[in-house]
Structure 1
């Protein structure tokens, strides 16, 4: 099997510094505003020398996996963990599973401390290229740089590796010899910081182009189906989430090939933070308990011992509050540049009215086409604000969304009307870049 990796990318020297270190995400040069990076499976850059040194010595070693549903699967995450454990039997290697389906770096940067850094990882894998597929490069720079700078500010010896997966038409872009836009933006940032990167989908794209892989299909069950398939690999059922026994095996193999190259790169030592890539990055992103804000109207703190949702999501939202219309309101004032809420979406959820300062109110849906079940979510009330005091008001409203129409976008139906009753809002944290003020 070919190793798609440019050896000359094995940079041990300090990462390249961009011309204007004071640039912000709103005044980027064209090559950063719309980046396009050549498709290469591995760019070792400054490697993972601290991790490899510690694993070789033995003792406790922790690997954190921060990402979305592809990382949450029983796939490349447990497969690579097992491989590392086999390579370094003298070490006690464990994982920090910080993957949440359907979320991107815009939530990851806020939950990083709670879900990752407090557990003190030695290696941090970051996987958001698919879920950040619809985000602008500017947004990706802000969030991904926030993850990097938070990590190295708190744990300067922790090594970071960006890993990229693929979905949908991203495979065509790879077959044209380029990274998709989200991975291109992440790779620009990785180049600035000397962070190694692995695109686990490069080999997948090559195999599909050569007729050796079916990107979306069903695994064969009968002998006849297996014979018809021949030597071809069925990658995934949905062009997103690989089958553990096929697609995730290819992802594992990409990591193994890349680690042979990454291991030879870099020198052990703490990571030092210089000028930021974009001055308005979200390094200061943090979670604040929801009850630090002012609550009025119909609010209920859910007890994990009695409430199913509170129990199911206790790991991520230790406190879960339920608000019901028409009069449940959340108010807070903060000095900073961005604010949002870490919450749930689900069948019995509705919509909110959000007002920031004197701006016109806007509606925010907490129900979408995936809401046949409850899942973690988030929304920004505002970002890109002037660094001064702002006032945020969030209200539950009685105006119901057309749930049947929304579900029909994915051919889902309201098969149990009682489950979809209600216009509730479930929330656990404020997301702030700034500080609450009285």
Structure 2
């Protein structure tokens, strides 16, 4: 894909998602924001990072909420703003006066950008408009954030502070502003300032590579900011790098301030430039990857009418880690401001649907009636090599158990992305684990969000890259933002319906199961109830104390342990499935087991992660049994994995499907 056609889709970190007046860091109390009108349009005025800021809103926003960001002198050539507002653009401004586009000013701009696109849902690519010294702000920010820039329009801008305010060229400069600039940048001498090599005219390669188009208007009679030392230098440098650049000399006879202020000959050209580059090649619509099915009406009624909500997040490390989950909790709190929420974070790294089905009671249902569940397992079910049968039994078990406990619970199923899924989609196929989970979702009319397909197609659409932006199946902050953006759009659509005052919460249908042996009655057995035999013991607060990593709930807890080859254990249970949840570290051994005096089978507990991790792992030893009493026999084998330094078997739980 050609660089100048590449459309990068950047979602800033959405971890602090709020509604119109945010609690974001640096902003004052929401009550201090106030609205005014500007040329007939609504303007929201507020403080951000202690600075005056405002956002002017169109009467009818264009799809995607494109916007223009004014850099310094926000009322100069304001006719462009008013035309754009009438055509559906938002106009934003923050006062960073006397900072001359310094690194500190750019950091404020970074925060302001994040605030605007999360709070007001503005398009992730912004058009920049700068005048005079505003060029220092616009270009210094754009060079750091090329993927966030739709286009740059500039008139009579400073592109090199050695020209103005320093006055080292033909410009008289400004001694007062020069001293302020040196102090802001931390220059102690003029020589240090002259050596600085990151003015707007410098380091434009990333901006050019991103294909950001630029348009400058200049006055050839400008003696304050001479174009020969500023715009014309920048334009030529940009073109040499392959960038798309246009410069339009002003022919107007109306020129003031030594040629620095002038009327634009053709403001319509500027407006068309901004609109064209802000509205083409829009990012793909996340709704394409959503299936709302039976929707979320029950939780919507619960949150609005009963003003209480219990929301659970069940999954693996992508759910355990901070990121999209924080954005969703903030979204719900702001969407339903009168609702008292309880959020249950039940994500545990390495866990898929099989562990989820058996730990569901302990980690979720024990908290009380759940109104809304977010469930993800596509990454771990695939990477942990669970069979299709296990994937369906696990996911269906979670759904059925949830709805037997609370028939009205709303469930959202997410399919997260990893490199394997990307390659499968690119080959024209659907990843097996997603097909299996979707089979359950369709059978029970559960909404799904297919982020694996969405991320794949956004990458192929040229909006971002896996290597530089998403980075890992544990998403970067950017990737977490992609997830949150899609989920919030899903929730916006799912909660868009009007709820009548007498709306009733209704039970979801519970059809016959897809697999009669699904894990809908999964429980964890208390290991302290197991009768110990020689060679086995219970450590009431096991801790490896070897410097290796471990997971929550797998350290300083009771653990049933043996590392003696030949030692046996017998467990009597009732149900149609049985397994063990173990901590498999560097000394993990091999076990042999059988059910009801059947054939002995071997199981190597040592995993590819065991050398550095006491990995929690769920091993299903038998399923599809007749639902009656059974006996599990287990013994420590004399042989061991060649990489292991022991024979240990550490059992955190025996799990059963009763």
Q: Same fold (TM over 0.5)?
A: yes
Structure 1 counterpart of 2:636: 396
Q: What is the match of residue 508 of structure 2?
A: 271
Cα offsets for 1:97-146 (capped at 9, x unmatched): 11121121111111111111111222111101111223333322222111
Mapped pair 1:260 → 2:484: no
Alignment-derived partner of residue 235 in structure 1? 470
Work out which of the two has the higher radius of gyration on C-alpha atoms and give 1 or 2: 2
CA contact (8 A) 1:204 1:213 kept: no
Query: What's the counterpart of residue 15 of structure 1?
Result: none
State the secondary structure of the residue aligned to 1:126.
Answer: strand
Aligned-partner Cα distance in 2 for 1:176–1:52: 39
The residue number in structure 2 matching 1:381 is 621
RMSD: 2.7
2:18 matched residue in structure 1:
none
The answer for the alignment partner of 2:646 in structure 1 is 422
Match of 1:191 in 2: 442
Q: Verify: 1:291 aligned to 2:523, yes or no.
A: no
Mapped to 2, the partners of 1:179 and 1:317 lie a distance apart of: 42
- Contact 2:554/2:652 (8 A) holds in 1: no
Residue 247 of structure 1: how far off its partner (Å): 0.7
Distance 1:303 1:94 in 2: 31
Residue 261 of structure 1 and its aligned partner are, at CA, apart by 2.2
Give the Å deviation of 1:73.
Answer: 1.8
Please tell me whether residue 45 in structure 1 is matched to residue 293 in structure 2: yes
Choose the corresponding residue for 2:590, options 338, 347, 351: 351
In the TM superposition, 1:170-209 aligns within 5 A as 170-175=421-426, 179-209=430-460
Distance in 2, matches of 1:186 and 1:148, equals 11
Residue segments in structure 1 that go unaligned for 5+ positions in a row: 6-39, 218-233, 404-419
Q: Equivalents in 1 of 2:292, 2:349: separation in Å?
A: 28
Provide the secondary structure at the position in 1 that maps to 2:480: helix
SS of residue in 2 equivalent to 1:347: coil
Runs of 4+, deviation exceeding 6 Å: none
Q: In the aligned structure 1, how far is the partner of 2:348 from the partner of 2:339?
A: 27
The verdict on how the C-alpha distance between 1:328 and 1:77 changes in structure 2, with shifts beyond 3 A counting, is farther
Partner-residue secondary structure (3-state), 1:383: strand
> For the residues of structure 2 that align with 1:60 and 1:328, how far apart are their CA atoms?
52
Checking the alignment, whether the CA contact within 8 Å between 1:115 and 1:316 is kept in structure 2 is: no
Cα distance in 1 for residues equivalent to 2:554 and 2:641: 29
Are 1:3 and 2:280 matched, yes or no? no
Displacement after TM superposition at 1:177 (Å): 6.2
How many matched pairs? 365
Aligned to 1:329: 568
The CA distance in 2 between the partners of 1:107 and 1:47, in whole Å, is 26
Give TM-score scaled by structure 2 length: 0.52
142-151 vs 198-207, which deviates more?
198-207
Query: Whole-Å Cα distance in 2 between the matches of residues 336 and 103 of structure 1?
Result: 22
Supply the distance in 2 between the matched residues of 1:317 and 1:58 (Cα, whole angstroms).
39
Structure 1 position 421, deviation (Å): 4.1
Kept in 2: contact 1:341–1:381 (CA 8 A) = yes
1:282 equivalent to 2:519? Answer: yes
The offset of 1:277, in angstroms, is 2.7
The answer to whether 1:78 aligns with 2:310 is: no
The match for 1:341 among 546, 562, 580 is: 580
Normalising by the residue count of structure 1, what TM-score does the alignment of the two structures yield?
A: 0.76
Q: Which runs of 5+ in 2 are unaligned?
A: 1-282
- Residues in 1 aligned to 2:313 and 2:650: alpha-carbon distance in whole angstroms: 26
